[in-house]
Structure 1
Amino acid sequence: MNNSAQPHQPPFPNGLTPGQSAFNNSSQSSFNTAATPPPSYESAMTGKFPNPIPSGTLLQGSGGMNSLHMLSGGQPLGQTSGILSQQQFMDEEKVYQLILDLTNPATREAGLLELSKKREAYEDLAPILWHSFGVMAALLQEIVSVYPMLSPPTLTGHASNRVCNALALLQCVASHNETRALFLTAHIPLFLYPFLNTTSKTRPFEYLRLTSLGVIGALVKNDNSDVINFLLSTEIIPLCLRIMETGSELSKTVAIFIVQKILLDDMGLNYICQTYERFYAVGTVLSNMVAQLVEQQSIRLLKHVIRCYLRLSDNPRAREALRQCLPEPLRDSTFMPSLKDDITTKRCLHTLLMNLNEGGMPV
């Protein structure tokens, strides 16, 4: 794939257009806010999702090792030093074959499934995927092929599983140091926003949203200001805020993790606190989450909520506003039983209250 070329921006259903967020730097207005989901938050953040597609699908070969190495410019997988054992050579040959299979519509589905299972075993898989001719185009084709199923919501479990396998490979590219910047320059995250903009609560849609959030989560995980700068120019914050209010617990957790990472960057904090509308939108969703957590407590979500409030309190204007609007359950002892064994989060809450001159809870 040519590093300098950028794919055409896809059509965005439901009226979502990239770069036209009220969170855009030039805007001062406010904004409007069947597969089994992966079993853990860690799976969402690492991309280690279970693959509901039946295993055992036969792989159809489409070329020898010469064509495979030509496909990727002869770049070896994994560790390049030392002599490869026969088993390592056979495994590497199979991976190259699977990559080649992605370019053939007849073998792509099986290739997606097998590569998504093997991607953790090969540290250099992301550069191979990026530089292999036609592979990134094939992954994007998988994504745009399900756009017509988003509205009206007709996405099936099988279609969701297949596109999630493609998204898992994109997450591999997004998380690799060598390909992360290229991934952003090509604006590939924008292809995922239609999935985040869906509201259907069926399992195929929930799995699709969670996997898409995992790709964005992989981008922000390494505290890169270029990533934050890119995301601030898009609709990611309002999309995450809506998921934080209406998604499943796992989706809420990954969405608030993304917002927290944006806040932890000075550019992100200043951006959100630049206008009252932006601060109010974020503060309202966090307040609603606190109210929900009173009824159904989740320690994992509560940690992120407290840390978001704590980071907001670092901004003078936001700190002044929080003195008036910090939810009462965070001021009293409502969550003390839940936090009794979590010293770190208790200290975060203590610091937050001290920042607001409320006095601190005992740690």
Structure 2
Amino acid sequence: MENFPPQSPSLKNNEFLHVASVSNTIGNKMLYAECLVIELSNPDLRENALHLLSKMTDLFRDLAPLLWNSIGTIAIFLQCVASHPDTKLSFMKANIPIYLYPFLNTSNKLAPFEDLRLASLGVIAAMVKVKTKEAIGFLLATEVMPLCLRNMEIGKELSKTVATFIVEKILSDDDGLAYICGTPDRFFAVGRALDRMLASVDNQPSPRLLKLMIPCYTSLTKNVGFFKPNPTPPS
């Protein structure tokens, strides 16, 4: 019993609960809990892993710090709530996404801040993955666009990609496009962010990023009727 089997731990419910209850080795419990936390990132194993972790609260006193300090674990839970049709609206009514905005507003490029940036963007991306008027309206009302444009410029490639994904989803919605094209400042702010990524010499956009940028440009060309530039004054 000193070593746990290499197979997926969440698929051995009864075996683990018996081992965990009789074992006095904290290291064994920690190792098993860490495996379950890793499985939370796998959609196929997440439900069972979460079920087992919920039964460890009395067996393993250090479970809470393990979950809290695991990169992206809390974000995974928030993404599940933000994306599910039965919880998305309540998630927005509670204004929970707003608590993530400070992480998107930082300009610090160190790895821990980049991890927070990416995790926060992932939650917002989960809200718009299956696009709804309520989600688009919430994000526009809470002014998420400037934060996304900021991260399109200062984030690493993955953060840029997720931020651009959010922008593309907003631009593909009629209300979102009308909002962006409602003033020249908003329209050109999006254009500048896209142009800077495209013109970057040190960090050429990846194919995945380019596939998101092209629809953004295409949507911006549909701005006729949303705003009209000031006519050139007669000479």
Please, what TM-score do these two structures have when normalized by structure 1?
Answer: 0.46
User: 1:286–1:305: 8 Å Cα contact kept in structure 2?
Assistant: yes
User: In structure 2, do the counterparts of structure 1 residues 261 and 293 end up closer, same or farther at CA, with 3 Å as the change threshold?
Assistant: farther
Equivalent residue for 1:189?
Answer: 97
Q: How does 1:1-12 map to 2 (within 5 A)?
A: none
Match of 2:200 among 271, 277, 292: 292
| In 1: Cα distance, 2:36 partner to 2:191 partner | 42
| In 1: Cα distance, 2:209 partner to 2:87 partner | 31
Q: Is 1:180–2:88 an aligned residue pair?
A: yes
Deviations 1:271-299 (A, max 9, x none): 11111111121111112222116972422
| In 2: Cα distance, 1:111 partner to 1:318 partner | 54
| In 2: Cα distance, 1:169 partner to 1:207 partner | 16
By how many angstroms is 1:183 displaced? 1.1
User: 1:196–1:209: 8 Å Cα contact kept in structure 2?
Assistant: yes
User: 1:113–1:162: 8 Å Cα contact kept in structure 2?
Assistant: no
Equivalent residue for 1:201?
Answer: 109
Name the amino acid aligned to 1:117: E
User: 2:148–2:163: 8 Å Cα contact kept in structure 1?
Assistant: yes
User: In structure 2, do the counterparts of structure 1 residues 121 and 308 end up closer, same or farther at CA, with 3 Å as the change threshold?
Assistant: same
Name the amino acid aligned to 1:215: V
Q: Is 1:121–2:50 an aligned residue pair?
A: no
SS of aligned partner of 1:315: coil
Q: How does 1:209-224 map to 2 (within 5 A)?
A: 209-224=117-132
User: In structure 2, do the counterparts of structure 1 residues 222 and 304 end up closer, same or farther at CA, with 3 Å as the change threshold?
Assistant: same
By how many angstroms is 1:265 displaced? 0.9
Gapped regions of structure 1 (runs ≥ 5): 1-55, 57-86, 95-106, 133-141, 143-157, 322-363
| In 1: Cα distance, 2:218 partner to 2:118 partner | 26
Higher helix share: 2
User: 2:40–2:73: 8 Å Cα contact kept in structure 1?
Assistant: no
Q: How does 1:148-163 map to 2 (within 5 A)?
A: 161-162=69-70
User: 1:167–1:212: 8 Å Cα contact kept in structure 2?
Assistant: yes
Higher relative contact order structure (alpha carbons within 8 Å, sequence separation ≥ 6): 1
Q: How does 1:1-363 map to 2 (within 5 A)?
A: 90=14, 114-115=36-37, 117-118=39-40, 120-121=43-44, 161-162=69-70, 164-292=72-200, 296-317=204-225
Name the amino acid aligned to 2:200: Q
User: 1:240–1:259: 8 Å Cα contact kept in structure 2?
Assistant: yes
User: 2:82–2:91: 8 Å Cα contact kept in structure 1?
Assistant: yes
| In 1: Cα distance, 2:152 partner to 2:172 partner | 18
By how many angstroms is 1:166 displaced? 1.2
| Dislocated runs of 4+, deviation >4 Å | 110-113, 122-125, 158-161, 317-321
Deviations 1:221-240 (A, max 9, x none): 00111100100011311011
SS of aligned partner of 1:316: coil
Please, what TM-score do these two structures have when normalized by structure 2?
Answer: 0.69
User: 2:118–2:158: 8 Å Cα contact kept in structure 1?
Assistant: yes
- RMSD value, Cα: 3.4
User: 1:273–1:315: 8 Å Cα contact kept in structure 2?
Assistant: yes
| In 2: Cα distance, 1:268 partner to 1:276 partner | 15
